[in-house]
Structure 1
Amino acid sequence: MPARPKRHHYSVYVIELGPEVWDVARFRRANPDYQFGKPFVYVGMTGLDPDVRFDKHKAGIQANRYARDFGVRLLPRLYEMYNPMPYDAARDMEVELGIALREAGYGVWQA
Protein backbone atom coordinates (compact mmCIF):
# COMPACT_ATOMS: atom_id res chain seq x y z
CA MET A 1 0.00 0.00 0.00
CA PRO A 2 1.54 3.35 -1.02
CA ALA A 3 2.28 5.91 1.68
CA ARG A 4 -0.29 8.64 2.01
CA PRO A 5 1.02 12.11 1.25
CA LYS A 6 1.55 14.24 4.33
CA ARG A 7 -1.25 16.66 5.03
CA HIS A 8 -0.10 20.24 5.27
CA HIS A 9 -1.32 21.56 8.58
CA TYR A 10 0.86 24.56 9.43
CA SER A 11 -0.51 28.07 9.32
CA VAL A 12 0.55 31.65 9.67
CA TYR A 13 -1.73 33.93 11.66
CA VAL A 14 -2.06 37.60 12.51
CA ILE A 15 -3.39 38.93 15.81
CA GLU A 16 -4.53 42.53 16.12
CA LEU A 17 -2.91 44.17 19.15
CA GLY A 18 -4.56 46.86 21.21
CA PRO A 19 -3.28 50.44 20.90
CA GLU A 20 -1.71 50.27 24.39
CA VAL A 21 1.13 48.22 22.87
CA TRP A 22 2.51 51.50 21.45
CA ASP A 23 3.29 52.52 25.04
CA VAL A 24 5.91 49.72 25.20
CA ALA A 25 9.28 51.21 24.25
CA ARG A 26 10.63 47.92 22.86
CA PHE A 27 7.65 47.67 20.49
CA ARG A 28 8.11 51.29 19.35
CA ARG A 29 11.84 50.72 18.73
CA ALA A 30 11.01 47.67 16.57
CA ASN A 31 8.67 49.78 14.42
CA PRO A 32 10.42 53.05 13.54
CA ASP A 33 8.46 53.42 10.29
CA TYR A 34 5.02 52.81 11.81
CA GLN A 35 2.33 54.87 10.05
CA PHE A 36 -0.18 56.48 12.40
CA GLY A 37 -3.61 54.87 12.11
CA LYS A 38 -2.41 51.48 10.84
CA PRO A 39 -3.06 48.40 12.99
CA PHE A 40 -0.63 46.92 15.50
CA VAL A 41 -0.23 43.17 14.93
CA TYR A 42 1.55 40.04 16.09
CA VAL A 43 2.51 37.59 13.32
CA GLY A 44 3.07 33.95 14.15
CA MET A 45 3.02 30.42 12.78
CA THR A 46 1.50 27.28 14.22
CA GLY A 47 0.67 23.65 13.64
CA LEU A 48 -2.65 24.28 15.41
CA ASP A 49 -5.77 25.96 14.16
CA PRO A 50 -5.11 29.72 14.45
CA ASP A 51 -8.20 30.11 16.70
CA VAL A 52 -6.80 27.53 19.12
CA ARG A 53 -3.37 29.17 19.04
CA PHE A 54 -4.90 32.59 19.78
CA ASP A 55 -6.77 31.12 22.76
CA LYS A 56 -3.51 29.62 24.05
CA HIS A 57 -1.75 32.98 23.78
CA LYS A 58 -4.55 34.65 25.75
CA ALA A 59 -4.45 31.88 28.38
CA GLY A 60 -0.69 32.31 28.80
CA ILE A 61 0.14 28.86 27.36
CA GLN A 62 3.38 29.09 25.32
CA ALA A 63 2.35 32.69 24.90
CA ASN A 64 4.10 35.65 23.40
CA ARG A 65 3.90 38.57 25.83
CA TYR A 66 2.46 40.97 23.25
CA ALA A 67 -0.16 38.50 22.04
CA ARG A 68 -1.11 37.61 25.62
CA ASP A 69 -1.26 41.13 27.02
CA PHE A 70 -2.46 43.13 24.00
CA GLY A 71 -4.10 40.58 21.66
CA VAL A 72 -7.59 41.63 20.61
CA ARG A 73 -8.62 39.28 17.79
CA LEU A 74 -7.37 37.39 14.79
CA LEU A 75 -7.25 39.18 11.43
CA PRO A 76 -7.93 36.28 9.03
CA ARG A 77 -8.17 38.51 5.96
CA LEU A 78 -4.40 39.02 6.29
CA TYR A 79 -3.44 35.32 6.37
CA GLU A 80 -6.19 32.86 5.39
CA MET A 81 -5.18 32.79 1.72
CA TYR A 82 -1.81 31.24 2.65
CA ASN A 83 -3.02 28.37 4.85
CA PRO A 84 -2.50 25.46 5.22
CA MET A 85 1.10 24.85 4.19
CA PRO A 86 4.12 22.70 5.02
CA TYR A 87 6.27 23.60 8.04
CA ASP A 88 9.14 25.18 6.06
CA ALA A 89 6.74 27.30 4.02
CA ALA A 90 4.94 28.50 7.16
CA ARG A 91 8.25 29.37 8.85
CA ASP A 92 9.29 31.43 5.82
CA MET A 93 5.85 32.98 5.33
CA GLU A 94 5.77 34.17 8.95
CA VAL A 95 8.88 36.27 8.28
CA GLU A 96 7.74 37.44 4.84
CA LEU A 97 4.28 38.43 6.06
CA GLY A 98 5.76 40.38 8.98
CA ILE A 99 8.09 42.23 6.62
CA ALA A 100 5.27 42.98 4.16
CA LEU A 101 2.99 44.32 6.90
CA ARG A 102 5.79 46.45 8.37
CA GLU A 103 6.52 47.84 4.88
CA ALA A 104 2.80 48.69 4.61
CA GLY A 105 3.11 50.79 7.77
CA TYR A 106 1.74 48.34 10.34
CA GLY A 107 3.26 48.06 13.80
CA VAL A 108 4.51 44.44 13.84
CA TRP A 109 5.86 42.04 16.43
CA GLN A 110 6.96 38.51 15.67
CA ALA A 111 8.79 36.02 17.85
Structure 2
Amino acid sequence: MPKTQYQVYVIELSKRVFTESAKFRKANPQFNGVLQCLYVGMSSKPPKTRFEQHKTGYRNQKGHNLASPLVQNYGMYLRPSLYNHIAPVATRSAALRLEESLALSLRRQGYAVWYN
Protein backbone atom coordinates (compact mmCIF):
# COMPACT_ATOMS: atom_id res chain seq x y z
CA MET A 1 0.00 0.00 0.00
CA PRO A 2 1.44 3.43 -0.93
CA LYS A 3 2.35 5.69 1.97
CA THR A 4 0.14 8.67 2.63
CA GLN A 5 1.57 11.92 1.36
CA TYR A 6 0.53 15.36 2.54
CA GLN A 7 0.65 18.52 0.53
CA VAL A 8 -0.01 22.16 1.13
CA TYR A 9 -2.46 24.10 -1.01
CA VAL A 10 -3.59 27.71 -1.37
CA ILE A 11 -7.12 28.95 -2.01
CA GLU A 12 -7.92 32.50 -3.02
CA LEU A 13 -10.67 34.04 -0.91
CA SER A 14 -13.00 36.86 -1.87
CA LYS A 15 -11.75 40.17 -0.44
CA ARG A 16 -15.12 40.39 1.32
CA VAL A 17 -13.57 38.11 3.97
CA PHE A 18 -11.40 41.03 5.08
CA THR A 19 -14.33 43.37 5.63
CA GLU A 20 -16.75 40.74 6.96
CA SER A 21 -14.54 38.62 9.26
CA ALA A 22 -13.08 40.27 12.36
CA LYS A 23 -10.85 37.26 13.09
CA PHE A 24 -9.41 37.40 9.56
CA ARG A 25 -8.76 41.16 9.85
CA LYS A 26 -7.15 40.72 13.28
CA ALA A 27 -4.79 38.02 11.90
CA ASN A 28 -3.69 40.32 9.05
CA PRO A 29 -3.07 43.83 10.41
CA GLN A 30 -0.33 44.34 7.77
CA PHE A 31 -2.76 43.90 4.84
CA ASN A 32 -3.04 46.96 2.60
CA GLY A 33 -5.64 45.63 0.15
CA VAL A 34 -3.33 45.40 -2.86
CA LEU A 35 -2.79 41.63 -3.05
CA GLN A 36 -5.33 38.85 -2.50
CA CYS A 37 -6.80 37.18 0.57
CA LEU A 38 -5.69 33.55 0.85
CA TYR A 39 -6.31 30.37 2.81
CA VAL A 40 -3.36 27.99 3.22
CA GLY A 41 -4.10 24.41 4.17
CA MET A 42 -2.60 20.95 4.06
CA SER A 43 -4.18 17.59 3.32
CA SER A 44 -3.54 14.01 2.29
CA LYS A 45 -6.20 14.58 -0.40
CA PRO A 46 -5.47 16.23 -3.76
CA PRO A 47 -5.95 20.03 -3.51
CA LYS A 48 -8.95 19.98 -5.89
CA THR A 49 -10.72 17.36 -3.76
CA ARG A 50 -9.95 19.24 -0.55
CA PHE A 51 -11.23 22.52 -2.03
CA GLU A 52 -14.51 20.80 -2.99
CA GLN A 53 -14.78 19.41 0.57
CA HIS A 54 -14.42 22.92 2.00
CA LYS A 55 -17.03 24.32 -0.38
CA THR A 56 -19.60 21.58 0.34
CA GLY A 57 -19.17 21.60 4.13
CA TYR A 58 -17.64 18.11 4.30
CA ARG A 59 -18.05 16.17 7.55
CA ASN A 60 -16.12 13.03 8.42
CA GLN A 61 -17.71 9.74 9.56
CA LYS A 62 -17.78 10.99 13.16
CA GLY A 63 -19.70 14.07 12.06
CA HIS A 64 -16.85 16.53 12.59
CA ASN A 65 -16.94 19.47 10.21
CA LEU A 66 -13.69 19.40 8.22
CA ALA A 67 -14.56 22.43 6.13
CA SER A 68 -13.22 25.86 6.97
CA PRO A 69 -16.10 28.35 7.23
CA LEU A 70 -13.81 30.95 5.63
CA VAL A 71 -13.32 28.77 2.55
CA GLN A 72 -16.94 27.64 2.51
CA ASN A 73 -18.16 31.25 2.51
CA TYR A 74 -15.37 33.08 0.65
CA GLY A 75 -13.29 30.49 -1.24
CA MET A 76 -13.08 31.19 -4.97
CA TYR A 77 -10.44 28.91 -6.49
CA LEU A 78 -7.12 27.17 -6.00
CA ARG A 79 -3.88 29.11 -6.60
CA PRO A 80 -1.50 26.33 -7.78
CA SER A 81 1.21 28.82 -8.77
CA LEU A 82 1.64 29.57 -5.05
CA TYR A 83 2.13 25.93 -3.97
CA ASN A 84 3.06 23.70 -6.93
CA HIS A 85 6.76 24.19 -6.21
CA ILE A 86 6.40 22.55 -2.78
CA ALA A 87 6.89 18.77 -2.80
CA PRO A 88 4.50 16.53 -0.83
CA VAL A 89 5.80 15.32 2.53
CA ALA A 90 5.42 12.01 4.37
CA THR A 91 4.08 13.16 7.74
CA ARG A 92 1.23 15.28 8.97
CA SER A 93 3.56 17.18 11.33
CA ALA A 94 5.90 18.07 8.46
CA ALA A 95 2.89 19.23 6.43
CA LEU A 96 1.69 21.42 9.30
CA ARG A 97 5.13 23.06 9.49
CA LEU A 98 5.08 23.63 5.71
CA GLU A 99 1.58 25.09 5.94
CA GLU A 100 2.65 27.61 8.58
CA SER A 101 5.90 28.43 6.78
CA LEU A 102 4.10 29.07 3.46
CA ALA A 103 1.35 31.11 5.14
CA LEU A 104 3.83 33.35 6.95
CA SER A 105 5.93 33.76 3.81
CA LEU A 106 2.85 34.83 1.80
CA ARG A 107 1.84 37.20 4.59
CA ARG A 108 5.31 38.82 4.50
CA GLN A 109 4.82 39.31 0.73
CA GLY A 110 1.68 41.36 1.40
CA TYR A 111 -1.12 38.82 1.11
CA ALA A 112 -3.79 38.49 3.80
CA VAL A 113 -3.59 34.84 4.90
CA TRP A 114 -5.53 32.44 7.09
CA TYR A 115 -4.13 29.07 8.12
CA ASN A 116 -4.81 26.69 10.98
Give me the whole-angstrom Cα distance separating, in 1, the residues matched to 2:71 and 2:85: 22
Give me the whole-angstrom Cα distance separating, in 2, the residues matched to 1:74 and 1:83: 17
1:16–1:75: 8 Å Cα contact kept in structure 2?
A: yes
Aligned length: 107
Shift of 1:83: 2.8
- Equivalent in the alignment of 2:50: 53
1:8–1:84: 8 Å Cα contact kept in structure 2?
A: no
- Equivalent in the alignment of 1:94: 99
Give me the whole-angstrom Cα distance separating, in 2, the residues matched to 1:67 and 1:40: 11
Structure with the bigger percentage of helix: 1
Give me the whole-angstrom Cα distance separating, in 2, the residues matched to 1:80 and 1:35: 26
- Equivalent in the alignment of 1:82: 86
Shift of 1:89: 2.4
- TM-score, structure 2 length as denominator? 0.86
Does residue 13 of structure 2 align to residue 17 of structure 1?
yes
Give me the whole-angstrom Cα distance separating, in 1, the residues matched to 2:82 and 2:90: 18
Following TM superposition, where does structure 1 have runs of at least 4 consecutive aligned residues deviating by more than 3 angstroms? none
- Percent identity between the two aligned chains: 38
Does residue 112 of structure 2 align to residue 107 of structure 1?
yes
Between stretches 80-89 and 53-62, larger displacement belongs to 80-89
Shift of 1:22: 1.0
SS in 2 for 1:82: coil
Give me the whole-angstrom Cα distance separating, in 1, the residues matched to 2:36 and 2:24: 13
Structure 2 gap ranges (5+):
59-65
Structure 1 gap ranges (5+):
none
- TM-score, structure 1 length as denominator? 0.89
